[in-house]
Structure 1
Amino acid sequence: MRRTLAALAVGLVATSAAAQELKVGFVYVGPIGDFGWTYQHDQGRLAVEQAFGDRVETTYVESVPEGADAERVIRQLAASGHGLIFTTSFGYMDATAKIAEQFPDVKFEHATGYKTAANLAIYNARFYEGRAVIGTIAGRMTRTNRIGYIASFPIPEVIMGVNAATLAAQKVNPDVEMTVTWVNSWYDPGREADAAKALIAQGIDVIMQHTDSPAPVQAAAEAGALAFGQASDMRRFGPEAHMTAIIDDWAPYYVKRVGQVLDGTWESTNSWAGFAEGEVVMAPYWNMPYEVAVEAADLERAIRLGRTHPFEGPVVDRDGAVQVPEGETASDAHLLSMGYFVQGVVGDLPK
């Protein structure tokens, strides 16, 4: 069972305790129809319903701005009997930590943040692994040696993605440049489309995105450029442009964590999973030569098996400083605090 924002607005309907063992809430930064980040989180919620049936009741609240609205929504979920609450955007971190302190008997899980407590866990996915794969493809497929990256906000997760894609592209094509444009939004189809069109007008022929709508893929298709989807397989929106996408598969994690609450084994943890755990998945490879698809699949497999890492040294930033020495690999702490662009990235890094 599930409830939406409308249900929260009019008050939650009472249900039988015998029929509902656990109420699970989800707070989303975008609409469930964004076909990107929020869509994939909601697919995970649906997987929870399918896995546990009447043992759980799920509630979701979509398009919640990061800030005071988030705090209000999280508090309302906690006060209305939800035993487990997932907050699914980096900007919800402070609000989640605050409400978790006020409701010590409720379990909270925050996506992509770093603040924890006895009743507050954090979880993330190693999207940079997928960015290395699409960077390799882009380096092979660009004809102009110019790739565009539509970025949301200058947080480590996004900076990490830009750098991983750039480093991988440069390994197969040293002449590549990565031009970054910031839209300062996770989901704004109009702004995302305009950003893609502006990049293409500059001679960029491959578009990447760290935003959540399929608008950049559509814009690339209309302009005859190539593109990658974000968070889900977006091929339907631009089949002649879409080469692959990084799919965020949250379902196994959500099912596992809900199951742990139900059986009493839940603990506050810090989860950061990737290819190896099946949390980061590549969509089918299209619109590229067979040998490029094979190279991409081989890299995907090598990362999954731990044979290579997207941030193996030397990694040098735009100021010429060595950030990761040769023979070393960037630590998780380094990645999660990343605040620099590597050489070959064009565009400002907002402070």
Structure 2
Amino acid sequence: MTVHAYGAQAADQPVQPLTIERRAPGPHDVQIDIAFCGVCHSDLHTVRSEWGGTLYPCVPGHEIVGHVSAIGADVTRFAVGDVVGVGCMVDSCQSCASCDEGLEQYCTGTGFVGTYNGATTDAPGHTFGGYSEQIVVSDKFVLSIAHPADQLAAVAPLLCAGITTWSPLRHWNAGPGKKVGIVGIGGLGHMGVKLAHALGAHTVAFTTSEGKRQDALDLGADEVIVSRNADEMAAHAGSFDLILNTVAASHDLDAFTALLKRDGTLCLVGVPEHAHPSPDVSALIFKRRAIAGSLIGGIAETQEMLDFCAEKGIVSEIEMIDAAQIDEAYDRMERSDVRYRFVIDNSTIAA
């Protein structure tokens, strides 16, 4: 079927109205009328081919919330009218060790298929994302959403920003009795602060800007450290169980590894354009500290996160935009001029 969308025809072209084809639902598919789609920095990187490998036309969007409008004959978990979400993946091999453990993001068979720019048998050979009226997805990659209707726009960024911070917080057992740092108070970091606090950890936000101190406290941080202040940093030396670093720009990691306890972990979730400077390995060796990484999250843990957030009333802080404002939003994102996530009102796509 033909649906309206927004996407780019080339790296140097603006995001503009397109029409795309969606497959008819197969036996295990769910058709979703998209209500809202978050705007992730990955969308910008992909549209402008800053990471390379972009397939055009490119229709981004992997923070999708909508309503089921049709289901395949063998779908039992969803019904027409259900409120559902789709995150960063729409398929994986379903048979490797990672998939068997519910960690499809680490699929070692075919690799996971991204919600956009991923290989597919559907024309034109790559997936189209959530900057569109509708999407058809395997039921295995559709998520249930229990938040009330007036929060659904703010739920959309949970499908990427939420799970990207939830997965490492859960993996490293953030909770009561743990001191957890969140570096960067942006789209990812503000969710990290909210989730770490809600899990019961003593939550410390790191920012380079004094102007974000009160914002971080309002989000749930117990303490805030301005990372450019050497005295504030030194006061916390050797005290963190986990520091979740959401910053996607190249920077010195040693200042943060020095804040870890013995056996503490610095977990990176942002991929910089240029490599971080090589860390001082002595700071790792002498305290058995670790620098680790984490990639989004599996379907089971994404559902766990959504259910937790619905129970606790947690959503993202958003600014709603019309589809025609996407390029303007990208430019503002590059200037860090968003608090904290843009979300598209998809009813404006066909306008």
TM-score by length of 1: 0.33
Structure with more of its chain in helix, by fraction: 1
TM-score by length of 2: 0.33
Structure with the largest fraction of strand: 2
